[in-house]
Structure 1
Amino acid sequence: MQFKHPEILYALFLLLIPIIVHLFQLRKFQKESFTNVAFLKKVTLQTRKSSQIKKWLILLTRMLLLACLIIAFAQPFTSKSNTFNTTPETVIYLDNSFSMQAKGDQGELLKRAAQELVESLNPDDQISLVTNTAVYKNTTLKSIQNDLLQLDYAPNQLPYDAALSKSSKLFSQTSNLNRNLVFISDFQEQDKDFKASNDSLYKLHAVKLNPVNIQNVSIDSLSISSTTASNTALQVHLKATGSKNNAIPISLYDGEKLLAKTTAVITDQVVAEFTLTEKSIVNGRIIIDDIGLQFDNELFFNIDEPSQINVLTIHEKTSSNYLERLFASDEFQLTNTSLNQLNYSVVENQQLIVLNELESLPNSLNNSLKAFMKQGGYVIVIPATSSQINTYNDLLGVYEINTKEVIIAEKRVTAINYAHPVYKNVFEKQESNFQYPKVNSYFPTTATNSSSVLSFEDGKPFLLTHKQLAVFTAALNADNSNFSEYDLIVPTFYNLARQSLQTPQLYYTIGKENKFDIQVNLKQDGVLKLANESVNMIPMQQYFNDKVSITTTDIPDIAGVYRIENKTAAIANVSYNYNRMESDLSYQDLSLLTNVEVSDSVSAIFETIKSDTKINALWKWFVIFALAFIIIEMLILKYFK
């Protein structure tokens, strides 16, 4: 038991007063003479004994009465902790990621959690609320109740450590506070598990919401498996958790037009294929009918007419046949020219320029190529065996690449950088046993910030890249190298060329950094916009001579097909989809965590917090006891004979 005003307890010394009064009574007895006092002595003794007992009972009741009144004014109370002189402070993290769409006992986990928060909190209590998309600091439930009940799902979930850090920073620095952090989530498995550190600043409460059904089928990805002159084959990849062997319908739409429909029997991973005769699909959608999570039942995509990449090859005397074969497809517009016939005015209209074994680079060409790369153009350098390398270093030095004189020695190309963007999605696995290309001479090259794509057996680069520049360190003609005879040359040059004009893919993932180019000539101060029926936004973009490079990360935040507009004219389409990481309904076990109080109910955790901080006032009981002692004293005075 504790006291709100313990200083009043000093008044208990007043209990000495009735003791003194009773022990030292000042009343004097008067003697009377009787003829026969034998009988009177007996009566006097009996009366005195009864009087003494009555006096001690009255003394006791009065002391207890006075003590109860003093203790009542001191305001006694009981509590589980010493919180009577502290101010409560509560921070709530509410996970509104897509996995919270799963159904619990009383509906969707997120909606039920929001409703329980409204029911458990006092409307005027000061709280701070954190979600994956918003922060409400030092507010009240009354102020944010509508926002809380209408909270929508977020496409990207904060990592657990980031959510804890973000929430804990909302606590004030004021001392003498009773801090509680309530972390509400389904605790789906992430790259890093939820861990509770022993933080003395606050007490951590974890509310783990459990779905009643963990079965879910999702559209994992979409790809073009093959393309011919008459049709295009699309592969839809599905993933499932929970029960299997159920048949699920898959529909393919272009806008509201149904193009095809099929059914797949669900296993861990399923691939369904559609064959299309359409060359382009503007508003493509893949839809499945699944009762699990809803965000992953639809995938948006678009297939636009491919934009041709303008490729210019500059050679000394004769062009290379392998380059003509590599760029012979409809995706490229190839122009071959010799150095002495080069028209410099066409340089700025290209996306890729290949310097094909030139003996030397004139200053005029160097200056033109530097300006070309500043405008976003890409250059591939293939030296000749007899190249005057000092004329190359003027161009290569822009990117801190230095090449020395040729060395005549045979070397094999043995190392492939599989993680390099040039070989992204090229290899299904890393090859360790294959016949290596070789060269008979090479130029030793050093580079500060460049990355090697292909390397010799001694680790020196055979092909390196930096920004818009790709450099081979050896001639590729048949007399010096057999690299052109290997299949590896096809993805190497193809992907180098594709990087020069990154046309939009089938779709992009919201929350990741996405880059693509749009071929357009903008007027001064012109900008491109992303738009659909409901939103209109301006993404981050950089304008070059004949293209605009667009980069998106946080926008858009809603899945769909968006038009790329120049003023009011739609010039292309781009699709965005939600990340599928949350489609796997696997959850972390919190039972082994320490320094955290775990519950499966929002209302239960707030009842616990309230009981921990609740003060049970006892002064009313002592007032009742005081009244009881008054009544007891009255009864003693009246009925005790």
Structure 2
Amino acid sequence: MQFKNPEVLYFFALLIIPILVHLFQLQKFVKVPFTNVAFLQKLQQQTRKSSRIKKWLILATRLLLFSAILLAFSQPYFSDKNIDKKQHTFIYLDNSLSTNTKGEKGNLLKISAQEIIESANEKDVYSLQTNSNFYKDISKNELKNLLLKIENTSKKLDLSTIFLKINQLNKNKTNTLYKNILISDFQNTYKNKFTNVTPAFSAVKLESSQKNNLSIDSVFISNANTTNFTVNAIIKNQGEEKSNTPISIFNNENLVSKQSFNIDKDSEKTIQFTIQNKDTFLGKIQLTFSDTFPFDNTYFFSINKRKKASVLAIGKESHFLSKIYTKDAFNFTNATLQNVNYNAISKQQLIILNSLENIPEILAQSLLDFSKNGGSLVIIPNEKLEVNSYNSFFNKLQIGKLQNKIIDTLKITSINYNHPLFKNVFSKKVNNFQYPSVNSLYPIFSKNSSTIISFENNTAFISELKNNIYYVSSSLAKTNSNFVNSPLIVPVFYNFGQLSFQFPRLSYRVATENKIGIETQLGKDEILTIANSRKSFIPLQQTFQNSVVITTKEQPLEAGIYSILKEKDTLQNIAFNYPKEESSLKYLDLNTLAKNNKNIEITSSIPATFNALNKKNEVQWLWKWFLALAIVSLLLEILILKFYKP
């Protein structure tokens, strides 16, 4: 039992007064002489005994009366909490995209909001944390208004941030009782976030009624050439096998192609679309399928007008290169080994090592970084190269080992027409072209090489050693070969340049930090904006001499195609998609977490959580009972005084 006014209990000390009054009575008995002494003596003893019992009874009822009155004024009650402490309930409601799905009662987020409104106590104070906002010290009515307007967001809040908020609230206020409730689907992205210092909370798990989901995981471009390219969509299936699922690709809302596919249980599959080359392609791939999450059935990507590929030739100037890489199609630069601008290497798409005797270490390291970042490399050896220098470089690239020089006249006779380098180059296979020849070569031993053009003895003349690394086994100097006079020289090196051009990034993720480089020049007061038909915003941007790097994070929050604008001019189109982690159907096992962490309490539902909290905080007042006891004790005293005759 607890007391709202415990200071009143000090007045119990005053009960000593009626006790003293009854113990030390000032009333004295008067003796009256009478003839029958024996009878009177007996009568006197009986009267004194009855009077004493009556007095003790009256004392007891008066003590009971005063005690009950004092207890009533001290306002006693039964409760698990102290009445002087306020109840503060912290609620985290997960409104991420994964809660926008159907449960047994309806939409998970909307039903959760409604159940909180119906179950919350009017007298308590609340703090509401969502993935997008935090509302501190609000009433039940304010909580209701916020929950009625809540919507799903692409933002994802880390559990460590939630626990930090809880700890800050506990430190900032005294004389307050805290209850923490986390309502989420608890996807396994929260894994390893629970420790021994995790604040105590009650967890309510939101569960979808569907257990199957198809999603477009990612998109990439392959087999690009001068006429078309292939769009590859990776489809991820979680759940049972699915058949005849329609999938479509659009260019700016115009249907380009449509097909259907089958996919095995819990697997991935790549769906390919062949698209004709265009200046721009504002792509949208869409699955027509009803599953757990609708947001991941659409994927946006953008392909902007292709710019000129930058080609750098390092070595002696060769006229055939400058004739192939013309200004209208390429940004071509030739530099000797002594005059190489190493800062410009990372800005190239293709680098040609043209007849170098050796490859210096500083150049080798720069080319290694260039290759790792997706750059294309063509290696043409010198007639008198240093084998050890080349092999040291090849070892860094992990492309094989150069063999000793072979002096032999060999004709170039075979073409691999299936290689992407020759796709759409020849209308038919040519078997009787004028065969060029070489007088010497440096063959290479490589396990994973792919032959593009070969000699009459089936050894490789030009081969692809690794993705975008090409090796010409013979020097192209006129003293060693007449290949530069062959019709093959043009399509081979021209397509080296065309295929080296990397498509810009197809899409970005919303609510994630993205850095996007734009080639433009800004004036003093000029800025870039990102916009679509519905909204626009100004991103963080850093201006350089000929470019601008923009950074997006908080915006945008909606997937779609956006334009980067300089005033009203569109510089580039970019696409944003929702985080693919939100498509996961893997969730935490809260029961296992609760066994390992005493601060986690698992509850079956939102109403059950609030009912337990309200019952725990319910106050049973006792002052009415003590007031009734005071009245009863007063009535007892009246009855004793009236009807008890000594």
Give the structure-1-normalised TM-score: 0.72
Cα distance in 2, alignment partners of residues 594 and 352 from structure 1: 67
**Alpha-carbon distance change, 235 to 501 in structure 1, aligned in 2, over 3 angstroms:** closer
- CA distance in structure 1 between the aligned counterparts of 2:151 and 2:332, rounded to whole angstroms: 45
Which amino acid in structure 1 is aligned with residue 95 of structure 2?
Answer: N
**Where in structure 2 are the equivalents of 1:475-486 lying within 5 Å?**
486=463
Other-structure match for 1:360: 338
Aligned ranges for residues 233-244 of structure 1 at < 5 Å? Answer: 233-244=230-241
Tell me the SS of whatever aligns to 2:25: coil
Per-residue deviation at 1:30? 2.9
What secondary structure is seen at the aligned counterpart in 2 of 1:119?
helix
Q: Which residue of 1 aligns with 2:151?
A: 152
Deviation at 1:550, TM superposition (A): 4.5
* Partners of 1:70 and 1:574 in 2: CA distance: 77
Query: What is the one-letter code of the residue matched to 1:588?
Result: L
What is the SS of the residue equivalent to 1:271? strand
Alpha carbons 2:350, 2:497 under 8 Å: kept: no
After superposing the two structures, state which structure 1 stretch, 563-572 or 479-488, moved more. Answer: 479-488
Note if 1:491 corresponds to 2:472.
no
Give 2:387's aligned residue: 440
**Deviates further, 527-536 or 207-216:** 207-216
Report the equivalent of 1:204: 201
- Give the whole-Å Cα distance in 2 for the aligned partners of 1:288 and 1:93: 34
Q: 1:589 to 1:439 in 2, by over 3 A?
A: farther
The one of 609, 634, 638 equivalent to 1:630 is 634
Q: What secondary structure is seen at the aligned counterpart in 1 of 2:562? A: strand
One-letter amino acid matched to 1:623:
L
Segment of structure 1 superposing worse, 285-294 or 168-177: 168-177
Q: Does the CA-based 8 Å contact 1:231-1:275 persist in structure 2?
A: no
1:601 counterpart letter in structure 2: S
Deviation at 1:445, TM superposition (A): 10
* Amino acid aligned to 1:9: L
Structure-1 separation of matches of 2:554 and 2:164: 21
Aligned match of 1:27: 27
> Among 422, 429, 445, which residue is 2:374 paired with?
422
Q: What amino acid is the match of 1:622?
A: F
Q: Does 1:454 align with 2:431?
A: no
- CA deviations 1:419-441 (Å, max 9, x no partner) are 944399xxxxxxxxxxxxx9713
Task: Write the letter of the residue equivalent to 1:57.
Answer: L
Could you say which residue in structure 2 is the equivalent of 1:92? 91
Structure 2 distance, partners of 1:291, 1:21, is 86
Shift of 1:539: 3.4
- Specify which of 595, 598, 602 is matched with residue 598 of structure 1: 602
What amino acid is the match of 1:636?
Answer: I
Matches for 1:366-381 after TM superposition, within 5 Å: none
How many Å separate the matches in 2 of 1:229 and 1:457? 30
Residue 582 of structure 1, CA deviation: 1.9
Letter in 1 for 2:397: L
- Give the residue type in structure 1 aligned to 2:108: L
- Distance in structure 1 (CA, Å) of the matches to 2:509 and 2:353: 36
Q: For residues 558 and 496 of structure 1, what CA distance do their matches in structure 2 show? A: 38
* CA shift for structure 1 position 630: 1.0
1:507 aligned residue: 507
Match of 1:3 in 2: 3
Residue 558 of structure 1 and its aligned partner are, at CA, apart by 0.9
Aligned to 1:310: 310
Amino acid at match of 1:334: Y
Specify whether residues 166 and 27 from structure 1 end up closer, same or farther in structure 2 by C-alpha distance, changes over 3 A only. closer
Look up the match of 2:134.
Answer: 135
Matched, 1:222 2:180: no
Contact 1:155 1:578 in 2 (8 A): yes
Counterpart code for 1:117: I
* Aligned residue type for 1:440: V
Q: CA deviation at 1:242?
A: 3.6
1:162 & 1:453 partners in 2: Cα distance? 43
**1:99 aligned partner, one-letter code:** S
1:247 CA displacement:
4.9
Query: Corresponding residue for 1:13?
Result: 13
The question of whether the paired residues in 2 share the 8 Å contact of 1:249 and 1:264 is answered with yes
Per the alignment, residue 424 of structure 2 pairs with none
Alignment of 1:48-197 (within 5 A): 48-81=48-81, 83-122=82-121, 125-143=124-142, 145-190=144-189, 192-197=191-196
On the 8 A contact 1:354/1:382 being kept in 2, the answer is no
Separation in structure 2 between the aligned mates of residue 379 and residue 524 of structure 1, nearest angstrom: 34
Give the counterpart letter for 2:574 in structure 1.
V
Which one-letter code corresponds to 2:261 in the other structure?
A
Amino acid in structure 2 at the alignment position of 1:441: N
- Rounded Cα–Cα distance in structure 2 between residues aligned with 1:71 and 1:100: 52
5+ residue gaps, structure 2, are 377-384, 402-439, 447-460, 471-492
Tell me the alpha carbon deviations over residues 489-515 of structure 1, each in whole angstroms, 9 at most, x when there is no partner: 552479998999765333222244444
What CA distance in whole angstroms lies between the structure 1 residues aligned with 2:223 and 2:79?
Answer: 72
Calculate the aligned-residue CA RMSD, in Å. 4.6
The 10-residue stretch of structure 1 (501-510 or 480-489) with the greater mean CA deviation from structure 2: 480-489
CA distance in 2, matches of 1:518, 1:221: 23
Deviation per CA, 1:476-529: give whole Å up to 9, x if none.
x96697899552355247999899976533322224444455555666654443
* 8 Å CA contact 1:422, 1:492 repeated in 2: no
- Give percent identity, aligned residues only: 33
Post-superposition offset of 1:184: 2.1
Partner of 2:587: 587
Is contact 2:202–2:609 with CA below 8 Å preserved after alignment? Answer: yes
More deviation in 64-73 or 267-276? Answer: 267-276
Alignment of 1:538-577 (within 5 A): 538-541=538-541, 548-577=548-577
- Report the Cα distance in structure 1 between the residues aligned to 2:275 and 2:227, rounded to whole angstroms: 6
Point out the more displaced range, 206-215 or 290-299: 206-215
Aligned position for 1:293: 293
Count, aligned residues: 554
Aligned-partner Cα distance in 2 for 1:497–1:597: 62
Q: Describe the superposition over 1:322-379 as per-residue Cα deviations: whole angstroms up to 9, x where unpaired.
A: xx6xx99xxxx8359xxxxxxxxx9xx9767564xx3532xxx75xx76x689x6789
Question: What is the CA–CA distance in structure 2 between the aligned matches of 1:454 and 1:625, rounded to whole Å?
Answer: 96
CA distance in 1, matches of 2:584, 2:621: 51
Partner Cα distance (1:334, 1:419) in 2 = 21
Displacement after TM superposition at 1:532 (Å): 0.9
Residues 254-283 of structure 1 deviation map (CA, whole Å, 9 limit, x = unaligned): 344444444334532353646455544435
Counterpart CA distance in 1 for 2:498 and 2:123 is: 59
**Cα 1:381–1:628, aligned 2, differ >3 Å: closer, same or farther?**
farther
CA contact (8 A) 1:503 1:517 kept: no
Alpha-carbon displacement from aligned partner over 1:256-311 (angstroms, at most 9, x marks no partner): 44444443345323536464555444352413221411211222223444333132
Partner of 1:431: none
Aligned to 2:624: 620
Between 172-181 and 495-504, report the one with greater CA deviation.
495-504
Give the stretch that moved more between structures: 506-515 or 569-578: 506-515
Superposition deviation, residue 566 in structure 1: 3.3
1:250 corresponds to 2:254: no
Pair 235,46 (structure 1): closer, same or farther in 2 beyond 3 Å: same
Distance 1:511 1:496, change over 3 A: farther
Letter in 2 for 1:575: A
Question: Is the Cα–Cα contact under 8 Å of residues 159 and 190 in structure 2 kept in the other structure?
Answer: no
CA distance in 2, matches of 1:499, 1:141: 63
CA distance in 1 between partners of 2:397 and 2:190 (Å): 31
CA deviation map 1:221-252 (0-9, x unaligned)? 23445456766544433223344446543333
CA 1:623–1:34: 2 relative to 1, 3 Å: same
Give, in whole Å, the separation in 2 of the partners of 1:373 and 1:301.
28
215 and 44 in structure 1: CA distance in 2 versus 1, 3 angstrom threshold: farther
SS, match of residue 397 in structure 2: strand
Asked whether the equivalents of residues 299 and 577 of structure 1 are also in contact (C-alpha less than 8 Å), the reply is: yes
Provide the rounded CA distance (Å) in 2 between the counterparts of 1:558 and 1:352. Answer: 40
Cα distance in 1, alignment partners of residues 574 and 365 from structure 2: 40
CA shift for structure 1 position 85: 4.4
In structure 2, distance between residues paired with 1:168 and 1:498 = 57
Work out the CA distance in 2 between the residues paired with 1:499 and 1:65: 102
